[in-house]
Amino acid sequence: METQYQWYPGHMAKAKKEMEESLKLVDVVIELVDARIPFSSKNPDVDKMIKSKPRVLLLNKSDLADDRVTAEFKKYYEDKGITVAVTDCKKGRLDRVMEPVREVCREKIERDKKRGMINRPIRAMVLGIPNVGKSTFINSYAKKACTKTGDRPGVTKGRQWIRLSKELELLDTPGILWPKFEDNAIGRNIAYIGSINDEILNLEELAVNLIDFLHEYYPGNVGERYGIEENGTGAEILPAIAIKKACLKKGGEPDTEKMARLILEDLRSGRLGKVSLERVPFV
Ligand code: G4P
Protein backbone atom coordinates (compact mmCIF):
# COMPACT_ATOMS: atom_id res chain seq x y z
CA MET A 1 0.00 0.00 0.00
CA GLU A 2 1.21 3.50 -0.81
CA THR A 3 2.53 5.67 2.01
CA GLN A 4 -0.07 8.04 3.46
CA TYR A 5 1.38 11.54 3.51
CA GLN A 6 0.40 13.36 6.67
CA TRP A 7 1.86 16.41 8.27
CA TYR A 8 0.30 18.35 11.11
CA PRO A 9 2.44 21.10 12.61
CA GLY A 10 1.42 21.81 16.17
CA HIS A 11 1.13 25.58 16.06
CA MET A 12 -1.46 25.58 13.29
CA ALA A 13 -4.34 26.93 15.40
CA LYS A 14 -2.28 29.82 16.78
CA ALA A 15 -1.04 30.79 13.34
CA LYS A 16 -4.55 30.73 11.97
CA LYS A 17 -5.84 32.98 14.74
CA GLU A 18 -3.02 35.49 14.19
CA MET A 19 -3.78 35.50 10.52
CA GLU A 20 -7.44 36.23 11.13
CA GLU A 21 -6.36 39.22 13.21
CA SER A 22 -4.06 40.42 10.43
CA LEU A 23 -6.79 40.03 7.84
CA LYS A 24 -8.82 42.68 9.62
CA LEU A 25 -6.01 45.18 8.95
CA VAL A 26 -5.67 44.79 5.22
CA ASP A 27 -7.57 45.82 2.10
CA VAL A 28 -6.39 42.99 -0.09
CA VAL A 29 -4.99 39.50 0.22
CA ILE A 30 -2.24 38.32 -2.10
CA GLU A 31 -2.56 34.55 -2.06
CA LEU A 32 0.35 32.54 -3.43
CA VAL A 33 0.15 29.03 -4.78
CA ASP A 34 2.71 26.95 -6.63
CA ALA A 35 1.91 27.04 -10.35
CA ARG A 36 3.00 23.39 -10.67
CA ILE A 37 0.30 22.31 -8.21
CA PRO A 38 -2.28 25.09 -7.86
CA PHE A 39 -4.92 22.85 -6.25
CA SER A 40 -2.67 20.95 -3.91
CA SER A 41 -0.90 24.08 -2.70
CA LYS A 42 -4.10 26.05 -2.16
CA ASN A 43 -5.55 25.76 1.30
CA PRO A 44 -9.34 25.70 0.93
CA ASP A 45 -9.75 27.49 4.30
CA VAL A 46 -8.51 30.70 2.67
CA ASP A 47 -11.83 31.21 0.92
CA LYS A 48 -13.70 30.94 4.23
CA MET A 49 -11.20 33.11 6.08
CA ILE A 50 -10.98 36.01 3.69
CA LYS A 51 -14.70 35.99 2.88
CA SER A 52 -15.47 38.87 0.52
CA LYS A 53 -12.14 40.68 0.96
CA PRO A 54 -10.46 41.51 -2.35
CA ARG A 55 -7.88 38.93 -3.35
CA VAL A 56 -5.29 38.38 -6.04
CA LEU A 57 -4.15 34.82 -6.63
CA LEU A 58 -0.53 34.44 -7.75
CA LEU A 59 0.40 31.33 -9.69
CA ASN A 60 4.01 31.55 -8.55
CA LYS A 61 7.09 29.61 -9.67
CA SER A 62 5.65 29.78 -13.16
CA ASP A 63 9.22 29.45 -14.44
CA LEU A 64 9.14 25.80 -13.31
CA ALA A 65 5.62 25.00 -14.54
CA ASP A 66 4.25 24.02 -17.94
CA ASP A 67 3.09 27.29 -19.54
CA ARG A 68 0.14 25.68 -21.30
CA VAL A 69 -1.20 24.16 -18.07
CA THR A 70 -0.58 27.39 -16.16
CA ALA A 71 -2.67 29.26 -18.73
CA GLU A 72 -5.46 26.71 -18.26
CA PHE A 73 -5.38 27.16 -14.49
CA LYS A 74 -5.41 30.93 -14.88
CA LYS A 75 -8.55 30.69 -16.97
CA TYR A 76 -10.08 28.17 -14.57
CA TYR A 77 -9.75 30.53 -11.60
CA GLU A 78 -10.73 33.59 -13.61
CA ASP A 79 -13.91 31.79 -14.64
CA LYS A 80 -14.62 31.44 -10.92
CA GLY A 81 -14.33 35.22 -10.57
CA ILE A 82 -10.85 35.20 -9.00
CA THR A 83 -8.24 37.69 -10.23
CA VAL A 84 -5.04 35.85 -11.16
CA ALA A 85 -1.46 36.86 -11.92
CA VAL A 86 1.22 34.48 -13.17
CA THR A 87 4.52 35.22 -11.40
CA ASP A 88 8.12 34.19 -10.98
CA CYS A 89 9.11 35.80 -7.70
CA LYS A 90 12.72 34.70 -7.97
CA LYS A 91 13.31 36.71 -11.12
CA GLY A 92 10.94 39.38 -9.95
CA ARG A 93 8.39 39.94 -12.65
CA LEU A 94 6.35 41.63 -9.97
CA ASP A 95 5.09 44.51 -12.01
CA ARG A 96 2.39 42.03 -12.96
CA VAL A 97 1.02 42.18 -9.45
CA MET A 98 0.23 45.86 -8.98
CA GLU A 99 -2.20 46.05 -11.86
CA PRO A 100 -4.52 43.30 -10.57
CA VAL A 101 -4.17 44.62 -6.99
CA ARG A 102 -5.46 47.99 -8.18
CA GLU A 103 -8.21 46.27 -10.08
CA VAL A 104 -9.58 44.33 -7.09
CA CYS A 105 -9.26 47.40 -4.86
CA ARG A 106 -11.07 49.70 -7.25
CA GLU A 107 -14.06 50.05 -4.90
CA LYS A 108 -11.82 50.99 -1.98
CA ILE A 109 -9.92 53.52 -4.07
CA GLU A 110 -13.20 55.10 -5.23
CA ARG A 111 -14.56 55.13 -1.67
CA ASP A 112 -11.39 56.84 -0.38
CA LYS A 113 -11.56 59.40 -3.15
CA LYS A 114 -15.14 60.28 -2.21
CA ARG A 115 -14.04 60.75 1.37
CA GLY A 116 -11.17 62.95 0.27
CA MET A 117 -8.55 60.36 1.36
CA ILE A 118 -6.73 60.40 -1.93
CA ASN A 119 -3.34 59.15 -0.80
CA ARG A 120 -4.24 56.33 1.56
CA PRO A 121 -2.11 53.38 0.43
CA ILE A 122 -3.62 50.00 -0.27
CA ARG A 123 -2.70 47.62 2.55
CA ALA A 124 -1.92 44.06 1.55
CA MET A 125 -1.11 40.77 3.18
CA VAL A 126 0.68 37.84 1.61
CA LEU A 127 -0.69 34.42 2.39
CA GLY A 128 -0.05 30.79 1.44
CA ILE A 129 1.23 27.36 2.48
CA PRO A 130 4.97 26.91 3.24
CA ASN A 131 7.43 27.07 0.36
CA VAL A 132 5.24 28.74 -2.27
CA GLY A 133 7.49 31.84 -2.28
CA LYS A 134 5.89 34.22 0.22
CA SER A 135 9.17 35.45 1.75
CA THR A 136 10.77 35.72 -1.67
CA PHE A 137 7.89 37.88 -2.81
CA ILE A 138 8.11 40.14 0.24
CA ASN A 139 11.91 40.33 0.16
CA SER A 140 12.04 41.16 -3.50
CA TYR A 141 10.02 44.23 -2.65
CA ALA A 142 11.80 44.94 0.62
CA LYS A 143 15.14 44.86 -1.18
CA LYS A 144 14.05 47.84 -3.21
CA ALA A 145 14.81 50.02 -0.20
CA CYS A 146 11.31 50.28 1.06
CA THR A 147 10.85 51.76 4.48
CA LYS A 148 9.42 49.77 7.29
CA THR A 149 6.71 51.87 8.81
CA GLY A 150 6.90 50.35 12.27
CA ASP A 151 4.28 49.27 14.73
CA ARG A 152 0.99 51.04 14.63
CA PRO A 153 -1.29 51.78 17.53
CA GLY A 154 -3.78 49.01 17.93
CA VAL A 155 -1.72 46.59 15.89
CA THR A 156 -0.38 43.48 17.57
CA LYS A 157 3.20 44.08 18.59
CA GLY A 158 5.70 42.84 16.07
CA ARG A 159 3.62 43.50 13.02
CA GLN A 160 5.50 45.70 10.61
CA TRP A 161 4.45 47.32 7.40
CA ILE A 162 6.69 47.70 4.43
CA ARG A 163 5.89 50.80 2.45
CA LEU A 164 6.45 49.74 -1.14
CA SER A 165 5.27 52.90 -2.77
CA LYS A 166 2.86 55.72 -2.13
CA GLU A 167 0.27 53.30 -3.31
CA LEU A 168 0.97 50.07 -1.46
CA GLU A 169 1.89 48.86 2.02
CA LEU A 170 2.63 45.25 2.76
CA LEU A 171 2.44 43.44 6.09
CA ASP A 172 5.98 42.12 6.44
CA THR A 173 4.98 38.79 7.99
CA PRO A 174 3.22 36.43 5.65
CA GLY A 175 0.19 34.42 6.70
CA ILE A 176 1.16 30.78 6.79
CA LEU A 177 -1.45 28.13 6.24
CA TRP A 178 -0.89 24.41 6.04
CA PRO A 179 -1.62 22.14 3.15
CA LYS A 180 -4.77 20.05 3.35
CA PHE A 181 -4.12 16.40 2.77
CA GLU A 182 -7.60 15.73 1.55
CA ASP A 183 -6.50 12.87 -0.57
CA ASN A 184 -3.22 11.13 -1.05
CA ALA A 185 -2.55 12.73 -4.43
CA ILE A 186 -2.37 16.12 -2.72
CA GLY A 187 0.16 14.84 -0.18
CA ARG A 188 2.21 13.33 -2.96
CA ASN A 189 2.18 16.55 -5.00
CA ILE A 190 3.34 18.55 -2.01
CA ALA A 191 6.09 16.02 -1.41
CA TYR A 192 7.21 16.21 -5.06
CA ILE A 193 7.91 19.92 -4.84
CA GLY A 194 9.82 19.55 -1.57
CA SER A 195 7.41 21.08 0.93
CA ILE A 196 7.51 18.06 3.24
CA ASN A 197 10.73 17.11 4.96
CA ASP A 198 12.30 14.41 2.78
CA GLU A 199 13.47 12.53 5.88
CA ILE A 200 9.94 11.37 6.60
CA LEU A 201 9.20 10.30 3.04
CA ASN A 202 9.71 7.15 1.09
CA LEU A 203 11.71 8.77 -1.68
CA GLU A 204 11.94 5.67 -3.84
CA GLU A 205 8.19 5.31 -3.93
CA LEU A 206 7.84 9.00 -4.69
CA ALA A 207 10.37 8.86 -7.53
CA VAL A 208 8.71 5.76 -9.01
CA ASN A 209 5.34 7.57 -9.04
CA LEU A 210 7.00 10.61 -10.56
CA ILE A 211 8.61 8.61 -13.35
CA ASP A 212 5.23 7.05 -14.17
CA PHE A 213 3.60 10.50 -14.18
CA LEU A 214 6.28 12.03 -16.38
CA HIS A 215 6.20 9.08 -18.76
CA GLU A 216 2.46 9.65 -19.25
CA TYR A 217 2.36 13.47 -19.40
CA TYR A 218 5.85 14.42 -20.55
CA PRO A 219 7.07 11.39 -22.51
CA GLY A 220 10.74 11.70 -23.37
CA ASN A 221 11.78 14.05 -20.53
CA VAL A 222 13.15 11.26 -18.32
CA GLY A 223 14.77 9.43 -21.22
CA GLU A 224 16.47 12.57 -22.43
CA ARG A 225 17.70 13.66 -19.01
CA TYR A 226 19.24 10.30 -18.06
CA GLY A 227 20.05 8.83 -21.47
CA ILE A 228 17.83 5.76 -21.14
CA GLU A 229 14.94 4.19 -23.01
CA GLU A 230 11.67 4.89 -21.23
CA ASN A 231 10.62 1.25 -21.36
CA GLY A 232 8.62 -0.32 -18.57
CA THR A 233 7.15 1.03 -15.35
CA GLY A 234 8.65 3.56 -12.96
CA ALA A 235 9.71 0.69 -10.70
CA GLU A 236 11.74 -0.75 -13.58
CA ILE A 237 13.04 2.57 -14.92
CA LEU A 238 14.39 3.83 -11.55
CA PRO A 239 17.07 1.08 -11.23
CA ALA A 240 17.84 1.42 -14.95
CA ILE A 241 18.61 5.12 -14.41
CA ALA A 242 20.74 4.31 -11.35
CA ILE A 243 22.81 1.84 -13.41
CA LYS A 244 23.15 4.26 -16.31
CA LYS A 245 24.33 7.01 -13.96
CA ALA A 246 26.65 4.62 -12.08
CA CYS A 247 24.73 5.35 -8.91
CA LEU A 248 25.65 2.04 -7.28
CA LYS A 249 26.00 0.52 -3.84
CA LYS A 250 29.26 -1.07 -2.72
CA GLY A 251 28.33 -4.48 -4.11
CA GLY A 252 27.50 -2.99 -7.51
CA GLU A 253 23.71 -2.99 -7.01
CA PRO A 254 21.81 0.10 -8.19
CA ASP A 255 21.43 2.60 -5.34
CA THR A 256 17.80 3.39 -6.02
CA GLU A 257 17.35 5.45 -2.87
CA LYS A 258 20.16 7.84 -3.75
CA MET A 259 19.00 7.96 -7.36
CA ALA A 260 15.44 8.75 -6.22
CA ARG A 261 16.77 11.72 -4.26
CA LEU A 262 18.69 12.98 -7.31
CA ILE A 263 15.64 12.63 -9.56
CA LEU A 264 13.51 14.63 -7.12
CA GLU A 265 16.20 17.31 -6.95
CA ASP A 266 16.19 17.42 -10.74
CA LEU A 267 12.42 17.91 -10.77
CA ARG A 268 12.52 20.65 -8.13
CA SER A 269 15.21 22.63 -9.90
CA GLY A 270 13.60 22.35 -13.32
CA ARG A 271 16.21 20.02 -14.82
CA LEU A 272 13.44 17.64 -15.85
CA GLY A 273 11.80 20.42 -17.82
CA LYS A 274 8.93 22.77 -17.11
CA VAL A 275 6.54 20.34 -15.48
CA SER A 276 3.04 20.83 -14.08
CA LEU A 277 2.06 18.06 -11.72
CA GLU A 278 -1.71 18.45 -11.85
CA ARG A 279 -4.36 19.36 -14.38
CA VAL A 280 -7.48 21.49 -14.42
CA PRO A 281 -10.37 19.16 -13.68
CA PHE A 282 -13.23 18.69 -16.12
CA VAL A 283 -16.11 20.75 -14.84
P1 G4P B 1 7.71 30.64 1.75
O2 G4P B 1 8.06 31.96 2.36
O3 G4P B 1 6.35 30.65 1.13
O4 G4P B 1 7.89 29.48 2.68
O5 G4P B 1 8.70 30.38 0.52
P6 G4P B 1 10.13 31.02 0.22
O7 G4P B 1 9.97 32.45 -0.20
O8 G4P B 1 11.05 30.72 1.35
O9 G4P B 1 10.56 30.21 -1.09
C10 G4P B 1 10.80 28.83 -1.04
C11 G4P B 1 11.79 28.47 -2.15
O12 G4P B 1 11.20 28.74 -3.42
C13 G4P B 1 13.09 29.27 -2.12
O14 G4P B 1 14.11 28.42 -2.61
C15 G4P B 1 12.85 30.37 -3.15
O16 G4P B 1 14.03 30.89 -3.70
C17 G4P B 1 12.05 29.60 -4.18
N18 G4P B 1 11.18 30.45 -5.00
C19 G4P B 1 10.30 31.39 -4.59
N20 G4P B 1 9.65 31.92 -5.64
C21 G4P B 1 10.12 31.30 -6.75
C22 G4P B 1 9.82 31.39 -8.15
O23 G4P B 1 8.96 32.13 -8.60
N24 G4P B 1 10.55 30.54 -8.96
C25 G4P B 1 11.48 29.67 -8.51
N26 G4P B 1 12.12 28.90 -9.38
N27 G4P B 1 11.77 29.56 -7.21
C28 G4P B 1 11.10 30.35 -6.34
P29 G4P B 1 15.16 27.74 -1.66
O30 G4P B 1 15.76 26.64 -2.44
O31 G4P B 1 14.54 27.42 -0.35
O32 G4P B 1 16.18 28.87 -1.41
P33 G4P B 1 17.22 29.49 -2.45
O34 G4P B 1 17.87 28.34 -3.14
O35 G4P B 1 16.48 30.37 -3.41
O36 G4P B 1 18.13 30.26 -1.56
Give pLDDT, residue 1.
56
Give pLDDT, residue 145.
45
Residue range(s) defining the domain that contains residue 209: 202-269
Taking 60 as the threshold, does the pLDDT of residue 279 lie above it? yes
| C-alpha span between 270 and 221 (Å, rounded) | 11
Residues 164, 170: contact at Cβ < 8 Å? yes
Residues 76 and 210 in one domain: no
> Which of the four pLDDT bands, split at 50, 70 and 90, describes residue 8?
low
pLDDT per residue as tens digits for the range 190-206: 999 988 877 778 999 99
Q: Which CATH number does the domain housing residue 75 bear?
A: 3.40.50.300
Strand 168-171, strand 161-163: pairing: antiparallel
Residues 81, 55: contact at Cβ < 8 Å? no
Residues 134 and 210 in one domain: no
Separation of CA 132 and ligand 1 centre (Å): 7
Separation of CA 38 and ligand 1 centre (Å): 16
User: Among 172, 187, 217, where does a domain finish?
Assistant: 172
Residues 157 and 226 in one domain: no
Kindly state whether residue 54 falls inside one of the protein's structural domains: yes
**Which residue out of 131, 193, 265 has the highest number of ligand 1 atoms within 8 Å of its CB and is therefore the one to mutate?**
131
Separation of CA 24 and ligand 1 centre (Å): 27
Residues 22 and 133 in one domain: yes
Q: Which CATH number does the domain housing residue 265 bear?
A: 1.10.1580.10
Taking 70 as the threshold, does the pLDDT of residue 11 lie above it? no
Residues 158 and 214 in one domain: no
pLDDT per residue as tens digits for the range 109-154: 888 888 887 778 999 999 999 899 999 998 887 765 455 555 454 4
**Structural domains in the chain (count):** 2
Kindly state whether residue 264 falls inside one of the protein's structural domains: yes
Kindly state whether residue 125 falls inside one of the protein's structural domains: yes
| Protein residues whose CB sits closer than 6 Å to any atom of ligand 1 | 60-61, 63-64, 88-90, 128, 130-136, 174
Nearest to 103 by CA among 117, 89, 120, 82: 82
